[in-house]
Amino acid sequence: MVVQDLVPEEVRMRGPFSDKLGRRWTCPCGREHEISTRWADVDPAALERLPARLRGEGWRGKVLLVADEVTYEAAGREVSHILKGSGFGVKERVFPLPLKATEERASEVLREVGPEAGLVAAGSGTVNDLAKWAAGLAGKPYAAVPTAASMNGYTSPISALLVRGVKRTVPSPPPVGTSADPDVVASAPRKMAPAGYADLRSKVVADVDWWLVGWLFGEYYCPFPREAIGFWEGELNGRLSGVREGDPEAVGALLRALLDSGFGMAVAGTSSPASGGEHLISHWLDMRATLRGGEAALHGEQVGVGTLVASTLYGMWLESDPEDWKTTLGTPSSEELCRRYGPWAGEVETELRRKALSPEMARDLIRKLREGWEEVREEVVVRWVPPEVLKEELRKVGAPTRPEELGVPWDVFREALLYSREIRGRWTVLDTAYLVGILPDRAEEALERAFGGGPAAASSGGPGSYRGAFRGRRGRPFPARRGGGWWGG
């Protein structure tokens, strides 16, 4: 292919997907996989090469460039200049900040789409989601110009939007290619790459969730995405301080790993290999922030902290005695959901109903797990990374390792742990923890084990600052609250 030939051998992306871009292959899992994205160019000359690559895709005439005011300065202006210099017309849609990936903003992008050959998203998660969603609906191709190694969504076949206040992932065609200058990516705000690393590491628990769903419910599972992430574990291990310090080489390697993680979702045809219970915790915190009009922490930062507690739940499950399993999996009433989610209770209830189990079904699942425990235990152990190991990595990379570092009080995080399973129909470790009775009763223990001591031990919180509220709700599932919405309304 002509465009491939424009890229010198030494700068082509190394990694598990290097030889799979734009190709179809038969996987040992038995399925044919296809990656439609044709390039993942992370290189100082990547932006210069973009016009030739787009031409190789048949793009002619005009493109619609989407950015926000910061990412426009970081890369958008340069991309626009390069495209114009090589004969493309460029229409720009530059969003002012603050910007959220909502259905409304995405519709604004969609309305901008005219006779352009395609869209170019110069930005990180939010800009990428908006452009990907709009391009998908408009039936136009899009190319991604990542400006931060902050998450893995660039190359995924989905876009994540807030739809009526609830985080929803919508299928959207992945980009035709991604072009990133490591110097640009490394100069993103300092906490973005650590957040990206945390998002990457969440895959080790998301993969266990996905594997278990396959085992429990006979759903499809492919080991390739986890193997790809395993490759990057090795590559990134010696680069953690480089990621923290914004070293272009280290951050560039992280971005390549994140792009591969997105390809893993394309392989799976679902976000399952990249999004389990730890992501529900993050989505729940996002929803809470939206409903309260507050600011959530970065996606990856929340996901990293969620990963520590998800990994802890797996650890608690692994050391449990199957004879002690007794399900606490119940379905909260509509009133409870109304109290918790206010105007979004209906959305939540629909999701929750998708995985509701009758008491008989729960008993059957427990029986199945008991009978297969030897195999299940072994498979989970192989995939699982203990929370201590993950926490040490997050520390080295400079990502948050405690709820308080996200600006989330301990007792609110405990609620995220208890309730975030409700907001999505996907089965995750949070459901498993209820199925075998670890949650809600041992929620405090899980938090203490994940974060090394209760709120009193937090460096950022005052001594015992959250203790009263935290202890006051000990062990009470779905606490009935009087008056006011759960969201403070």
Task: Name the residues that contact Zn ion, by CB under 5 A.
Answer: 27, 29, 199, 222, 224
Nearer Cβ to Zn ion, position 27 or 356? Answer: 27
Q: Is 197 helix (H, G, I), strand (E, B) or coil?
A: helix
**Distance of closest approach, residue 63 Cβ to Zn ion, in angstroms:** 28
Q: Which amino acid is at 489?
A: G
Residues pairing with 41 in the sheet: 179
- 24-26 and 32-34 as β-strands: parallel, antiparallel, unpaired? antiparallel
**Distance of closest approach, residue 304 Cβ to Zn ion, in angstroms:** 10
**Using CA atoms, how far apart are residues 438 and 430, in angstroms rounded to an integer?**
9
CA distances from 329 to 29, 142, 362, 432, 434 (A): 32, 43, 8, 9, 5
**Distance of closest approach, residue 18 Cβ to Zn ion, in angstroms:** 17
Nearer Cβ to Zn ion, position 199 or 422? Answer: 199
Q: Is 62 helix (H, G, I), strand (E, B) or coil?
A: strand
**Distance of closest approach, residue 271 Cβ to Zn ion, in angstroms:** 8
The answer to whether 151 and 159 have CB atoms below 8 angstroms apart is no
Q: Is 60 helix (H, G, I), strand (E, B) or coil?
A: coil
CA-nearest of 163, 305, 172, 186 to 239 is 186
Residue 416, both tokens? 């995220």
Nearer Cβ to Zn ion, position 201 or 340? Answer: 201
**Distance of closest approach, residue 27 Cβ to Zn ion, in angstroms:** 3
Phi/psi of residue 179, nearest 5 degrees? -130, 120
CA-nearest of 126, 158, 131, 148 to 64 is 131
**Distance of closest approach, residue 477 Cβ to Zn ion, in angstroms:** 28
Cis peptide before 115 (omega within 30 of 0): no
Nearer Cβ to Zn ion, position 71 or 152? Answer: 152
**Distance of closest approach, residue 155 Cβ to Zn ion, in angstroms:** 13
CA angle 184/188/192 to nearest 5° reads 135
The answer to whether 77 and 108 have CB atoms below 8 angstroms apart is no
**Distance of closest approach, residue 317 Cβ to Zn ion, in angstroms:** 23
Nearer Cβ to Zn ion, position 162 or 345? Answer: 162
Count of residues for the chain? 489
Nearer Cβ to Zn ion, position 29 or 163? Answer: 29
Nearer Cβ to Zn ion, position 90 or 289? Answer: 289
**Using CA atoms, how far apart are residues 258 and 341, in angstroms rounded to an integer?**
32
Nearer Cβ to Zn ion, position 153 or 177? Answer: 153
